[in-house]
Structure 1
Amino acid sequence: MTTRSRAVVLQKFDQPLEIREYDVPKPREMSAVVRVRYAGVCGTDVHLQAGKLPVPTPVVLGHEAVGQISALGPGLTHDVLGNPLRPGDWVSWLNNIACGRCRFCLVEQQPTLCTGNRKVYGINQSADSWPHLSGGWSDYIYLQPGTVLVRIPEVATPQQVISLGCAGPTAVHGALNEVQVRFGDTVVVQGSGPVGLASAMYAHLAGAAKVIIVGGPTARLDLAKQLGVGHHHLDIFEITDAAERVQLVRQETSRNAGADVVIEATGVPSAVAEAIDYARPDAAISVVGQYTDHGTTPINPHLITRKNLNISGSWGFGARHYIGYIASLPKLLEHFDLGRLVTEYSLTEANSAIEDAKAGSVLKAVLRVGDE
Structure 2
Amino acid sequence: MSRPSAIVLHEFGTDLELRTFPQAVPEPGAVLADVTHAGVCGTDMHLQQGRLAIPLPIVLGHEAVGRVRALGAGVRTDATGAPLCVGDLVSWASNIPCGACTACGADGAPSLCETRRVYGINQGCAQPPHVSGGWSEQIYLQPGSTIVRVPDGVGPEEVIALGCAGPTVTHALRDVAQVREGDVVVVQGSGPVGMAAAMLAAVAGARRVVVVGGPANRLETARRIGVGDVHIDIGAETDPRGRLARVLAETADGRGADLVIEATGVPSAVAEGIDMARRGGTYLVVGQYTDHGETPINPHHITRKQLRVLGSWAFSPQNHVDYVLSVPALAARFDLPALLTAYPLERANDALADMRAGRTLKPVLVNGART
TM-score by length of 2: 0.98
Offset from partner CA, 1:259-280 (integer Å, 9 cap, x none)? 0000000000011111110000
Find the residue that maps to 2:38 and give its secondary structure.
strand
Residue equivalent to 1:73: 72
CA contact (8 A) 1:179 1:285 kept: no
Residue equivalent to 1:96: 95
How many correspondences in the alignment?
Answer: 370
CA contact (8 A) 2:93 2:147 kept: yes
CA contact (8 A) 1:175 1:286 kept: no
Letter of the 1:146 counterpart: G
Instruction: Give the Cα–Cα distance (whole angstroms) in 1 for the partners of residues 211 and 173 of structure 2.
Output: 14
Find the residue that maps to 1:103 and give its secondary structure.
coil
Shift, 1:253, TM fit? 0.6
Q: Please say if 1:49 is aligned against 2:57.
A: no
Instruction: Give the Cα–Cα distance (whole angstroms) in 2 for the partners of residues 360 and 225 of structure 1.
Output: 17
Q: Please say if 1:25 is aligned against 2:24.
A: yes
Shift, 1:318, TM fit? 0.7
CA contact (8 A) 2:96 2:317 kept: no
Find the residue that maps to 1:229 and give its secondary structure.
coil
Offset from partner CA, 1:144-175 (integer Å, 9 cap, x none)? 00000000001210111011110111111123
Residue equivalent to 2:155: 157
1:171-186 mapped onto 2 (5 Å cutoff): 171-186=169-184
Instruction: Give the Cα–Cα distance (whole angstroms) in 2 for the partners of residues 269 and 5 of structure 1.
Output: 40
Residue equivalent to 1:363: 361
1:1-372 mapped onto 2 (5 Å cutoff): 2-115=1-114, 117-372=115-370
Offset from partner CA, 1:109-136 (integer Å, 9 cap, x none)? 1111113x31100011111022111001
Letter of the 2:248 counterpart: R
Letter of the 2:35 counterpart: V
Identity %: 53
CA contact (8 A) 1:139 1:370 kept: no
Instruction: Give the Cα–Cα distance (whole angstroms) in 2 for the partners of residues 99 and 339 of structure 1.
Output: 34
Shift, 1:180, TM fit? 1.2
Find the residue that maps to 2:103 and give its secondary structure.
helix
Instruction: Give the Cα–Cα distance (whole angstroms) in 2 for the partners of residues 251 and 371 of structure 1.
Output: 46
Instruction: Give the Cα–Cα distance (whole angstroms) in 1 for the partners of residues 35 and 62 of structure 2.
Output: 12
CA contact (8 A) 2:343 2:369 kept: no
Letter of the 2:338 counterpart: R
Find the residue that maps to 2:260 and give its secondary structure.
strand
Shift, 1:371, TM fit? 4.2
Shift, 1:320, TM fit? 2.1
Instruction: Give the Cα–Cα distance (whole angstroms) in 2 for the partners of residues 69 and 77 of structure 1.
Output: 12
CA contact (8 A) 2:57 2:126 kept: yes
Instruction: Give the Cα–Cα distance (whole angstroms) in 2 for the partners of residues 49 and 124 of structure 1.
Output: 13
CA contact (8 A) 2:59 2:131 kept: yes
Offset from partner CA, 1:63-104 (integer Å, 9 cap, x none)? 000010000000011001001111111101000111000000
Letter of the 1:190 counterpart: Q
Letter of the 2:351 counterpart: A
CA contact (8 A) 1:187 1:262 kept: yes
Letter of the 1:103 counterpart: T
Pairwise CA RMSD: 0.9
CA contact (8 A) 1:175 1:263 kept: no
Letter of the 2:138 counterpart: Y
**For structure 1, which runs of at least 5 residues remain unmatched after alignment?**
none
Instruction: Give the Cα–Cα distance (whole angstroms) in 1 for the partners of residues 300 and 369 of structure 2.
Output: 56
Divergent runs of 4+, >2 A: none
**For structure 2, which runs of at least 5 residues remain unmatched after alignment?**
none
Instruction: Give the Cα–Cα distance (whole angstroms) in 1 for the partners of residues 173 and 116 of structure 2.
Output: 24
Instruction: Give the Cα–Cα distance (whole angstroms) in 2 for the partners of residues 249 and 306 of structure 1.
Output: 19
Shift, 1:248, TM fit? 1.2
Letter of the 2:105 counterpart: L
User: 98-107 or 243-252, which moves further after superposition?
Assistant: 243-252
